[in-house]
Homo-oligomer: A and B are copies of this chain.
Amino acid sequence: MDYLNLLAGRTERMQVNAIREILKVASQPGIISLAGGIPAPESFPLELIAELNGRVLAKYAADAFQYGLTEGFPPLRAALAERLSSRDIQTQPGDVLIASGSQGVLDAIGKALVSPGDRIAVESPTYLGALQAFTPYEPDYISLACDEGGLIPDSLEAALTRHATKFIYLVPNFQNPTGRTLSMNRRRAVASIIRKYGALLVEDDPYGDLRYEGTALPPLKSLAPDNVIYIGTLSKVFAPGLRLGYCVAPTAIRNWLVLVKQGVDLHTGTYSQALAAEYMAGGYLDRHLPRIIELYRPRKEAILDALARSFPDDFRWSQPEGGMFVWVEGPAGMDMQKLYADAVRYGVAYVPGQFFFVDQDAGRHTMRLNFTLADGPTLARAIDLLAEVIRHHG
C-alpha cells in the first residue's frame, strides 16, 4: 500500500536530519566523541541505586509499579518543591509537574500553546532538542541576538515590540550549545522586559547544578514568577535513562500541560519517580552532586587548556563556568560540517554548530564540544587531533 499519502502536514517538517547521522558516526568504535550531550557513566551512583531499589520496594511495594497521577508521584513532587524553594523558587508540591525528561515538558508546552504560525523567540544559537519539540507544532521562530553574556536584552525587547510572541525559550545557565551564562544584570533586565510586555518565558535549566566555579545566579523564575515556566531535569544529576524532568508553571498553564500530558503518556514511569524521590528525600542527591562536580571540573579545565595550547590563533571559544559544552568559533568562511568528515578520519567527532541555529547558514564556522563524557587525557588528545585536522584541512 501507499504510505506516503498518510503523512500529516506537520510531519513533513520533521526531516530526518543530518545530526542523527553525525551522532551515529560519533558512536562508532575508535572515535573519541565530543558530540553528544551525555553524562559520564561513572557519574551515575550505581552502588547507591542498588540500595535505593531496596528502599523503594520496602517503602512503596506495589504502589511503585501501579498507574499513577499524570501530575507525578507525590513524594517526588514534594522533594522537588523543597529543593526549588531553597533556590528562591517558592514552590508547593502541587506546583510541580513531573514529565518524561525535560523533553516531555518541551513537547507539552509546544502542544498546549503553539498553533501553526505562532512565534517563538529563541537564542541564536539555541538548544536543538527544543526546536525538535516545538517544530512539529509549526511555529515560526524569531532569533534573538546573543554575545558572551548570553541573550542581549535589547534584542528581546525589540522582538517583543515588533512581533506577537507566544513565548521566549531560554537556557540561562551554561547554555547548550554555547556554555554561556546569562549575567545578573541581564537577568534583571530580561525579567523586567517580560513583565512589562506580559510575555511568557520558558526557562530551561538542565545544567544549573553543574557549576564548577563562580557563584550561582538566581533563576528568572524567581525574578518574574508569573511570567516564567521553569524546567529542570534529573538527567544530569542522577541518571538520564530514568527519563525524569519537571516544570513549575503558572497554575493555568500547568493545568493545560497536565491535560496534554495525559494524552501523550498518561504519566511518567512510577518506579523511576520513586527511585528519584528516595534519592532526593534521603539526602543522597546533595551528597552525590559534589562528586559529579569533582568529576567534571578537571575535564572542563583539560579541554580549555588543550584548546589554548593547540588551536590556531584565529579560533575563539567560550569559557564556561559549568555545564557540559564549549562553543568554538573558527575564522569566517570555515565550514565545520565539511571539516567533520576529516575529523572522523582522525578519530574525533563533534557537532557542527549550524544545527543549533534556526537559520543554519549563520553557524557554519562554529562547533560544539562536549567535555563530560571523555576523561581529561582523552579530551586533550581529541583536541590535539582536531587541531591537526584543522591545520591540514583545505
A interface list, Cβ under 8 A from B: 1-4, 6-11, 14, 16, 36, 38-39, 41-42, 44, 46, 49-50, 53-54, 57, 61-68, 100-101, 103-104, 107, 111-115, 118, 129, 132-133, 135-137, 166-167, 198-200, 226-227, 235, 239-243, 250, 252-253, 255-256, 259-260, 262-272, 275
Contacts and interface: CB of A to CB of B under 8 A. Distances in A.
The oligomer's copy count stands at 2
A391 to B, nearest CB: 33
A41 B62 CA distance: 6
Contacts of A46: 57, 61-62, 65
B136 A260 contact: yes
Given A133-B263, A198-B2, A269-B272, A8 B115 contact: yes
Nearest to A268: B243
Contacts of A103: 263-266
A240 B65 contact: yes
Given A3-B252, A265-B265, A49 B62 contact: no
Contacts of A132: 262-263
A8 B271 contact: no
A118 B9 CA distance: 11
Contacts of A166: 6
A202 B198 CA distance: 44
B265 A16 contact: no
B65 A57 contact: no
A8 to B, nearest CB: 5
Contact of A65 (B66, B114, B241, B255): B241
8 contacts: A1-B200, A3-B250, A7-B113, A8-B112, A11-B113, A14-B263, A41-B61, A100-B100
Q: Label chain A's interface by main secondary structure.
A: helix
Nearest to A137: B8
Contact of A8 (B39, B113, B272, B275): B113
A212 B133 CA distance: 43
Given A269-B272, A272-B269, A226 B1 contact: yes
Nearest to A45: B65
Most central of A10, A167, A269 by chain B CB within 10 Å = A269
Given A1-B198, A65-B241, A241-B68, A260 B113 contact: no
Task: Across the A-B interface, give the 10 residue pairs with the lowest CB-CB distance, nearest first.
Answer: A241-B270, A41-B62, A65-B239, A3-B252, A65-B241, A100-B265, A1-B198, A53-B53, A132-B263, A243-B269
A14 B108 CA distance: 13
Nearest to A44: B65
Given A6-B166, A64-B241, A67-B241, 14 more contacts: A6-B200, A41-B62, A50-B54, A65-B239, A65-B241, A66-B239, A66-B241, A101-B266, A103-B266, A242-B269, A243-B267, A243-B269, A243-B270, A271-B271
A369 B359 CA distance: 55
Given A1-B200, A103-B264, A132-B262, A269 B241 contact: yes
A8 B299 CA distance: 43
Contacts of A260: 11, 14, 136
A63 B242 CA distance: 11
A53 B242 CA distance: 14
Nearest to A100: B265
A49 to B, nearest CB: 7
Contact of A259 (B16, B41, B53, B112): B16
